[in-house]
Structure 1
Amino acid sequence: MAQKKSSTSLNQNIEQRTQELGQQMWDLLERREPSMFEKRWWDDRILSWAMADESVKVQMFRFVDVLPMLRSHESIVRHLHEYFEDVRKHLPWAVRIGLELSQPNSVLGRALALNARSNAQRMASRFIAGSSVEEVHSTIDRLRSDNLTFTLDLLGEAVISEVEAEAYLQSYLDLIAGLAPRVRKWSENVQLDWDSQGHLPRTNVSIKLSALCSQFKPTDPAGTMAAVQPRLRTLLRSAMKYDAYLHIDMEQNSYKPLTLEIFKQTLMEKEFRDFDNAGIVIQAYQPQAEQDLMDLLKWTKKRKTPIWIRLVKGAYWDYETITSQYHHWPIPVFQEKWESDVNFEKLSQILLKNYQWLRPAFGSHNMRSLANAIATAHELDVPPSAYEIQMLYGMGKEQAQVFAEMGHRVRIYTPFGELIPGMAYLVRRLLENTSNDSFLRQSFTEHVNLETLLMNPAKHAKKSTKNKSTEEPESGFQNEPLTDFSLEESRTQMQEALEMVSDQLGKEYPLLINGRAIDTKATITSRNPSHHSESVGTVCSASADDAIDAIDAARRAFPGWSKTEPQYRSEYLELIAANMRRKRFELAAWIVFECGKPWEEADGDVAEAIDFCMYYADQMRNLAEPLDCNVPGEENSYFYRPRGTVAVIAPWNFPLAILTGMTAAALVTGNTVVMKPAEQSSVVAAKLMDLIHESGIPDGVVNFLPGIGEEVGPELVGSPDVEMITFTGSRDVGLAIHETASNTDLRQKMVKRVIAEMGGKNPIIVDDDADLDEAVLGVMHSAFSYAGQKCSACSRVIVVESIHDAFVKRLIEATKSLKIGPAEDPGTIVGPVIDEEAQQRILEYIEIGKEEATLALACESPELDEEGYYVGPHIFTDVDASCQIAQDEIFGPVLAVMKAEDFEEAISIANDTLYALTAGIYSRSPAHLLKARQELVAGNIYLNRNITGAMVERHPFGGFKLSGIGSKTGGPDYLLQFLIPINITENTMRRGFAPTADGGDDEEKE
């Protein structure tokens, strides 16, 4: 009780002191607002104007973001018109007139472009300390003269290749080596150069660990650590040599566990164990932050050397929230600002109570948060020199000066680099400065009263409009969340599943016809494409007679199954989905071994299979309700009946998802099924058959018929007792099925329906204003993930000429960093191709490409050649649109790069193919994005994202031309193809009267 009273008394004293300090700082700040004669005053007016209108703010920030890629005044003026056309009435009159009168080639247009670029660069120079070494030196000298110190952060393009990672490392090594002699000459400043534990390094830099490695992959912590640690050690040695401080910035939540682990493991090494000039960030907007802080405290005491902790609220709130909602993952950050503020104060107290181990640096512009930290330090008798205040360069200059004058060490987080590539950083700072909850906005723009600004954030809890306990769960279909492999628990489960399945390899699997297991003399041995000497299993191979038996079993089961209520059929699908969830990692492991899919791809395959079951179950419930159109004397009912027996012929590249999707659609609509998987993936298909059997679906409704396509295919396609064929695979086989099915057998009772998805030759256009960081990664992963063995994979990239060389250079270097290896290795991105036949076909196309174009990159893996069926990524340039490698579907990691003179030609090249499956574009021109929507010929068009990874309901999938027959899988029309619409009309009038709606008659009531 005494301790509780003591804690309560402490908090009361801290609150009182917080209010006093807040009032004191506010009084000082009010006298320090910039005057209209200062550049910042005008910048603030621009920001205030932008803040007042959300639509203008969005367009202004988007324009600033694209500006670095606009190389001519014509392009700048065109984008100004495109971005601000819809919000023109919201603009100041002078700006409206300028836009209305300017044309790209006019004198006024040139002036407008020059003014736009110079204003953006001027704004960038406020938040970015300089682009050259001399400018950076000048900035930190100026900070020093203002009694402020610094930490430097290098801006630039995202690190997407090992060349760029090495350049990032070298830039910091040069910075430390060049800066140390200069700052050593400064006169001593006790306030800045000393803390309670001794002398502080004057050179202070902040780095991101993800920039030390082009493949920073939480799925593969061991591989990522092996890549990052050597470079981190080099930086630490340089810091020790030159008496510099090295700080590790924190990024998105998925990187956090790995970032903390690399930091702790490296600094625990004997060489660095006594190095105390290092630190890391803790983000208070994460509920997990307190536990992270306590773990660091425990680790630091074990290490016996203190570290610094930069406590911040967090800068990735939008990203974390949107990404989590997209994946249906738990949101890892607080959803209301007051929660982050409360946590910041709580963590501040923990830091100050342990300041000798965790040396506090409070990074914030929120006066309440900083006043509370200082008040807490005062009440805990922590000397001011034991902690520091950190603020962003270009923001809250007056605040920084006030804290410095109060005797605090203030460190300015100072980004530097070229202004134009640094625009992305500028946009983030502008967004932060103009967010609705920004302290700076509330205090200086909206003039919120001091009492509100200094209110204890815990009091907001009572006013919160969100009540988590009463939030209703989302209804209707929801996509199955992908596994988050950044979590150790998920990685452990996957690894255990791989080990368990490895012990089950080599088993035998029979046919299953009418509920009976049938062994055959002929068998198919399924081999692991990562290690072709390893048998995944032996599957019985059906004959034509077995196919006849399976069709007969399905035909006889049809009457009973077709009469099963749609509600019950939907429940069967939901039971299958539940079984898949229960065996999720096990199923993914089988896919890894049998089809060579890396972890994330295999997991996505299982998640999509679950989605198909759940989505089609939900859709069938809706379709089961008859549509009534009644009039007096007549009742009309429109409803659906199943077709009959469906032959499902599936591919190997999505061994569970596509087979499940086609089978589930047939089942839930009341049809019976003969399920013929690809030879290469028959073991995974056997596992699906087990799940179907476990769900309790009656015998004969689904019949498992693995076999050689040439032997059982003709019977499945040609049988008069098969009413429908659904197929996914190559164009040639799909067209042959369509031709055979169209020849009506006189024994048929119905014209056969064929659904066929037959591949593509999918393009991505890279416009001259594209974000190259995003475009390179999007093209690379679309082309080479799963070794390019997706029908949606990018096989052609069409690049506008002005950026062609820069794009190709970065694409080649980024692709070199992709890990080629066995699928069970969590670091693998490019696994094997499916079998020897596929390998030879792809190699033949590579030889054709060498004759037709320029081989710009060939990623070889000689150490793997004897182990499995490996083909590394290949990139061809100087490819003409008529080349064979630009027209034929190769189905492997071969990418053709084509140059287009302009965007119009790029569209023309993209459409010059027999296929129309997927297509994509990277552009920041609204006009060009609209043109792509209207003119790109493809079933699925993706704007500013990769073109693979379609999700059920969100991205119904399928093409036209020679890419497919039928409606999109995973979409609202798909089930209709498995149904026959029926309309029944009944005349209800007898002798001049008819029943009323309530069952009576139409007699006139007195």
Structure 2
Amino acid sequence: MVLQAQSSTYEAKTQEIAKKLLSATQENRSFLASLRDQMRWDDKLLAWAMSSPGLRVQLFRFIDTLPALRSKAEIAAHLQEYLGDKTVELPAALKGMLNFANPDSVPGQVAATTVSTAVETLAFKYISGENIKQVIKTVEKLRKEKMAFTIDLLGEAVITEAEAQSYLERYLELMQQLVAASQNWTTIPAIDVADGEELPKVQVSVKLTAFYSQFDPLDAQGSEERVSDRIRILLRRAQELGAAVHFDMEQYAYKDITLNILKKLLLSAEFRQRTDIGITIQAYLRDSEQDTQDLIAWLKQRGYPLTIRLVKGAYWDQETIKATQKHWPQPVYNDKAATDANFEAITQLLLENHQYVYAAIGSHNVRSQARAIAIAQSLNVPRRRFEMQVLYGMGDKLAKALVDQGYRVRVYCPYGELLPGMAYLIRRLLENTANSSFLRQNLENRPVEELLAPPIITESPHTSAPLSTSLPITPPPHLSSFLGVADRDFAQEEARSHSAQAFQVVRQQLGKTYLPLINGEYVNTSQMIDSLNPSNFSEVIGKVGLISVEQAQAAMEAAKAAFPAWRRTPAKERADILRRAADLMTQRRAELSAWIVLEVGKPVKEADAEVSEAIDFCRYYAEEMERLDKGVIYDVSGETNRYIYQPRGIAVVISPWNFPLAIACGMTVAALVTGNCTLLKPAETSSVITAKLTEILIAAGIPKGVFQYVPGKGSQVGAYLVSHPDTHVIAFTGSQEVGCRIFAEAATLKPNQRHMKRVIAEMGGKNAIIVDESADLDQAVIGVVQSAFGYSGQKCSACSRVIVLQPIYDTFIKRLVEATKSLNIGETELPSTQVGPVIDANARSRILEYIEKGKAESQLALELPAPQQGYFVGPVIFSDVPPDGIIAQQEIFGPVLAVIRVQDFQEALAVANGTNYALTGGLYSRTPSHIEQAQTEFAVGNFYINRNITGAIVARQPFGGFNLSGVGSKAGGPDYLQQFLEPRTITENIQRQGFAPIDGVD
């Protein structure tokens, strides 16, 4: 029977133990003395970071950049750029050191040497060595202090399969060398033996995501298979050597799949009896207590104990930012006290179930460790069943105090080179310098009672707390308050299940007939086409009726007849129809996503994001129309002035296939909500999806004749509607060639035409990403791969050129090629697929022609094979592409990437701007002056810094370009609807015989 102890009993013992530990940690505060009396620059950097939040940000950004800088002049220049910010007040010593005119000067060299040496010294306070030889020395020193260890290999983000295989091989080598060294170690009873059981002297800590470069919760089965193969190899070798293995926990998105993989693997016959394996729980997660309960129940079923390492969690900032940006529930506690309380609750849960689990309590908070000891003492927990853990370089005095009291202490020791270790260093610096950090508060001589007080929480520390709790999002008053809908989180099993069910439902409807909608009725047509699945062109998604020119004329007449009533419909009523349409899309989002995947070959996540965009267009434009409907009032004495808008008339929307729902919906509802009757002519290859949009608009309440769905041949029906004298607005997204023809045709005045037609056109791009020598290459490679090969390069915002500075060119292209090789190519319905087909046979043929032209003018760096049963083109990368080459200038609209080498940043900007397009562009840089210059000089409508260049979000990132990328205001922006409206000014003289009404006077 498990003993239950009262919290008050634990509290008294906790305080008693904590005071002893705290007293030991506060003796001989050499750290504080160094801050006051010594001239160690690494200590000064930490002290300055604690003293000023603004300096802390700039200092950490510089430290993040430092490993990428290749000369003292570069270091000195970046020092001035980051720390010369006039808004940040610098300490006198730092200000004096930065007072040099030229980075190449002797003072500049001295500053660079001083600071880079200080950062390296600081890094190696937290990193146990750069190679295995150094690590062995470190752990042997720890063992002399009676401390056990676990080794974590720092490394670049695993973005290629070669890197994933290397990660496994490096751990196998690490275990081999550590075990070989351990043959010479004498047994230390305090850490090598417990309750008569000999413990492994060697332990390593690994991350699941590093075993497979395409690790993704959406592809849970595929990720499990690939990861498990490598884990088995690791665990088998560890058993042969007698080493223990612990599995770390990472970002929240990977938590559930990590636990599921490990549970399944460690329940198998081969590994079920192993007890030298561990799993991590992060107490800052709201559902961590429930996860712990589930693990304990699973361990009871397993019948053999494992270690559960309990930590607070190291990704708080990242988790909160991601959840806020995605409009997802916050997975972490916002209040640190809630995390502390949850940590204590889980500690109790682990120790009260000590017969099923080994507890490893990882914390530098004296109270947290004292709490664990108090519970363990109260419950007489055997020493084998629990240990205390600290990070290397943090909590050293606490660790020593725990050792002195006879407890087993294990030190978590990361090792690796400074460059790949920088992300780890920044996390440690954030933790050390945070106001809420126990280490910092202890250094600041906070009262003992305050340091050791039970956590006072403002939110529930239990998993019953609603997951909807999130940080408040309050935009500044000059910004829109619009919040978009959240994409589905495929880390959640429910989202994956809904997606799979939707495909089953949609597949039962394949091959149906979809007819045009004219004047509120579906009409038969003489011509039909099959819409095919580009992943499998033998599969018919639906049969679509194409209207004739005569039917197009009937649709135009119906629209003219419906216009007078629609233009008089109050803006609020029109907006409410859009909101109902958004609600219907929300209800059908999994189904709509499945249609997009099957009809145009878009991968599941990207299809889901497109549904979000369509919903956002409806809701945002509804809000915007209500704002515009209020008009602008400018009154003076005796005169009223009203600036108002009225609809233009008949709008023809010609939508593309690459965003068949979002762009079709956005242009259509913009025209409708502004009071225009609208005819939607979709691309022929995506007409089934626009038929689904039609169903939704009808169900939402669009009146008869106001909206009409008119699929047809572009060369016939499209041309007829563009040239029709009753067309007022043409909203088009597509190729430059067709867009220019529309402009030319619309500019020609037709007989009986009494207005100038308004053309709103988006015509593609030849988008570039610049990667400079200071860039984070992990980020840059991932971002370029996503931007270039997401949806097979068929987004108008896709990256088709990457411009790389000479110093990093070879390193970048090598990783880019390996990362691209690691992508999965296949049918987009499969959750493992990252690269699907192109839209049809004509597109495939055109892209293949461009690839042959590229081979003639540049070097082929990569050409991946592609499946045959669909319209597939494998990703292609060309290197050393001339900036004026065909593949560097012409829009290809496929998975073809041109990599261009440049000597300096000025040349990079010139090359980036050297096309006829100006749609999207990106920059990967950690040089503030480059970022500032590019914001001004990079001629694109949407400019993205240190992120991928696709995936614009309604209201947050209105989308559109200029030059030959199009005209008109940005879709999803505050002035987009004005293009569908005619502005009017109405002025009235309200003076009568020398008097006029005055506000407030009868």
TM-score of the aligned structures, taking structure 1 as reference length: 0.96
Residues of 1 paired with 2:490 and 2:169: CA distance?
31
- The C-alpha deviation readout for 1:654-713, integer Å capped at 9, x for no partner, is 000000000000011000001100000000000000001111111000011001111101
Instruction: State the partner residue of 2:981.
Output: 979
Instruction: State the partner residue of 2:992.
Output: 990
Instruction: State the partner residue of 1:643.
Output: 648
* 1:860 alignment partner, SS class: coil
Deviation at 1:124, TM superposition (A): 0.9
Count of aligned pairs: 991
Relative to structure 1, the CA distance from residue 224 to residue 469 in structure 2 (aligned partners, 3 Å threshold; closer, same or farther) is closer
- The C-alpha deviation readout for 1:272-323, integer Å capped at 9, x for no partner, is 1111100110011112111111111121122211100000111111111110
Relative to structure 1, the CA distance from residue 37 to residue 80 in structure 2 (aligned partners, 3 Å threshold; closer, same or farther) is closer
Matched, 1:71 2:70: yes
Instruction: State the partner residue of 2:857.
Output: 852
Tell me which amino acid in the other structure corresponds to 2:547.
Answer: A
Residue identity over aligned pairs, in percent, reads 49
Tell me which amino acid in the other structure corresponds to 1:18.
Answer: T
Answer yes or no: is the 8 Å Cα contact 1:55–1:87 preserved in 2: no
Instruction: State the partner residue of 2:578.
Output: 573
- The C-alpha deviation readout for 1:357-405, integer Å capped at 9, x for no partner, is 2100000000111101100111111134421110010112111100000
Residues of 1 paired with 2:694 and 2:95: CA distance?
66
Deviation at 1:161, TM superposition (A): 0.1
Residues of 1 paired with 2:960 and 2:101: CA distance?
44
Deviation at 1:100, TM superposition (A): 1.4
Answer yes or no: is the 8 Å Cα contact 1:69–1:770 preserved in 2: yes
Instruction: State the partner residue of 2:757.
Output: 752
* 1:221 alignment partner, SS class: helix
Answer yes or no: is the 8 Å Cα contact 1:34–1:41 preserved in 2: no
1:157-236 matches, within 5 Å, as 157-196=156-195, 198-236=197-235
Deviation at 1:425, TM superposition (A): 1.3
Residues of 1 paired with 2:610 and 2:767: CA distance?
21
2:904 to 902, 905, 912: 902
Residues of 2 paired with 1:429 and 1:906: CA distance?
35
Deviation at 1:40, TM superposition (A): 11
Instruction: State the partner residue of 2:267.
Output: 268
- The C-alpha deviation readout for 1:185-217, integer Å capped at 9, x for no partner, is 211111101224721101100000000110011
Deviation at 1:457, TM superposition (A): 1.1
2:17 to 13, 17, 21: 21
Residues of 1 paired with 2:143 and 2:101: CA distance?
45
Relative to structure 1, the CA distance from residue 108 to residue 43 in structure 2 (aligned partners, 3 Å threshold; closer, same or farther) is closer
Tell me which amino acid in the other structure corresponds to 1:220.
Answer: D
- The C-alpha deviation readout for 1:857-888, integer Å capped at 9, x for no partner, is 00112xx21x1100011000010011000000
Instruction: State the partner residue of 2:342.
Output: 343
Answer yes or no: is the 8 Å Cα contact 1:352–1:382 preserved in 2: yes
Instruction: State the partner residue of 2:385.
Output: 386
Tell me which amino acid in the other structure corresponds to 1:961.
Answer: N
* 1:457 alignment partner, SS class: coil
* 1:422 alignment partner, SS class: helix
* 2:738 alignment partner, SS class: helix
Instruction: State the partner residue of 2:947.
Output: 945
Relative to structure 1, the CA distance from residue 892 to residue 295 in structure 2 (aligned partners, 3 Å threshold; closer, same or farther) is same
Residues of 2 paired with 1:425 and 1:469: CA distance?
28
User: Does 569-578 or 619-628 show the bigger shift?
Assistant: 619-628
Residues of 1 paired with 2:721 and 2:19: CA distance?
83
* 1:420 alignment partner, SS class: helix
Deviation at 1:269, TM superposition (A): 1.6
1:241-256 matches, within 5 Å, as 241-256=240-255
Relative to structure 1, the CA distance from residue 894 to residue 461 in structure 2 (aligned partners, 3 Å threshold; closer, same or farther) is closer
* 1:481 alignment partner, SS class: coil
Matched, 1:552 2:554: no
Answer yes or no: is the 8 Å Cα contact 2:142–2:148 preserved in 1: yes
1:366-765 matches, within 5 Å, as 366-444=365-443, 446-458=444-456, 476-765=481-770
Residues of 2 paired with 1:564 and 1:461: CA distance?
47
* 1:733 alignment partner, SS class: helix
- The C-alpha deviation readout for 1:551-600, integer Å capped at 9, x for no partner, is 11111111000000000000000010011011111111111110101110
1:95-110 matches, within 5 Å, as 95-110=94-109
Tell me which amino acid in the other structure corresponds to 1:799.
Answer: V
Answer yes or no: is the 8 Å Cα contact 1:34–1:40 preserved in 2: no
Relative to structure 1, the CA distance from residue 704 to residue 418 in structure 2 (aligned partners, 3 Å threshold; closer, same or farther) is same
User: Does 897-906 or 102-111 show the bigger shift?
Assistant: 102-111
Tell me which amino acid in the other structure corresponds to 2:281.
Answer: I
Matched, 1:794 2:796: no
Deviation at 1:99, TM superposition (A): 1.1
Relative to structure 1, the CA distance from residue 289 to residue 462 in structure 2 (aligned partners, 3 Å threshold; closer, same or farther) is closer
- The C-alpha deviation readout for 1:937-992, integer Å capped at 9, x for no partner, is 10000011000000000110000000001110000010000000111111111222
Deviation at 1:267, TM superposition (A): 1.2
* 1:526 alignment partner, SS class: strand
1:809-848 matches, within 5 Å, as 809-848=814-853
User: Does 43-52 or 247-256 show the bigger shift?
Assistant: 43-52
Instruction: State the partner residue of 1:968.
Output: 970
Deviation at 1:91, TM superposition (A): 2.2
Relative to structure 1, the CA distance from residue 566 to residue 86 in structure 2 (aligned partners, 3 Å threshold; closer, same or farther) is same
CA RMSD of aligned residues (A): 2.0
Answer yes or no: is the 8 Å Cα contact 1:795–1:896 preserved in 2: yes
Instruction: State the partner residue of 1:1004.
Output: none
Answer yes or no: is the 8 Å Cα contact 2:357–2:385 preserved in 1: no
Answer yes or no: is the 8 Å Cα contact 2:527–2:546 preserved in 1: yes
Residues of 2 paired with 1:386 and 1:630: CA distance?
80
Answer yes or no: is the 8 Å Cα contact 1:223–1:827 preserved in 2: yes
- The C-alpha deviation readout for 1:529-565, integer Å capped at 9, x for no partner, is 0110000000101111111111111111110000000
Residues of 2 paired with 1:460 and 1:15: CA distance?
20
Residues of 2 paired with 1:742 and 1:197: CA distance?
92
Instruction: State the partner residue of 1:936.
Output: 938
Instruction: State the partner residue of 1:134.
Output: 133
Answer yes or no: is the 8 Å Cα contact 2:330–2:470 preserved in 1: no
Answer yes or no: is the 8 Å Cα contact 2:329–2:470 preserved in 1: no
Tell me which amino acid in the other structure corresponds to 2:30.
Answer: P
* 1:260 alignment partner, SS class: helix
* 1:797 alignment partner, SS class: strand
Deviation at 1:183, TM superposition (A): 1.2
Instruction: State the partner residue of 1:309.
Output: 308
Matched, 1:30 2:26: yes
TM-score of the aligned structures, taking structure 2 as reference length: 0.97
Relative to structure 1, the CA distance from residue 233 to residue 956 in structure 2 (aligned partners, 3 Å threshold; closer, same or farther) is same
Relative to structure 1, the CA distance from residue 889 to residue 280 in structure 2 (aligned partners, 3 Å threshold; closer, same or farther) is same
Matched, 1:774 2:776: no
Deviation at 1:412, TM superposition (A): 0.4
Answer yes or no: is the 8 Å Cα contact 1:676–1:706 preserved in 2: yes
Answer yes or no: is the 8 Å Cα contact 1:284–1:311 preserved in 2: yes
- The C-alpha deviation readout for 1:236-262, integer Å capped at 9, x for no partner, is 001100000000000011100111111
Instruction: State the partner residue of 1:917.
Output: 919
Tell me which amino acid in the other structure corresponds to 1:982.
Answer: R
Structure 1 moving runs of 4+ over 6 Å: 37-42, 459-463, 466-475
* 1:896 alignment partner, SS class: strand
Instruction: State the partner residue of 2:81.
Output: 82
User: Does 985-994 or 931-940 show the bigger shift?
Assistant: 985-994
Residues of 1 paired with 2:289 and 2:26: CA distance?
35
Gapped regions of structure 1 (runs ≥ 5): 1001-1006
Residues of 2 paired with 1:473 and 1:277: CA distance?
45
Residues of 1 paired with 2:472 and 2:865: CA distance?
53
Answer yes or no: is the 8 Å Cα contact 2:48–2:91 preserved in 1: no
Instruction: State the partner residue of 2:812.
Output: 807
Gapped regions of structure 2 (runs ≥ 5): 475-479
- The C-alpha deviation readout for 1:116-162, integer Å capped at 9, x for no partner, is 22111111111111112211111011101111111000012111000
Tell me which amino acid in the other structure corresponds to 1:206.
Answer: S
Tell me which amino acid in the other structure corresponds to 1:322.
Answer: I
Answer yes or no: is the 8 Å Cα contact 2:613–2:954 preserved in 1: yes
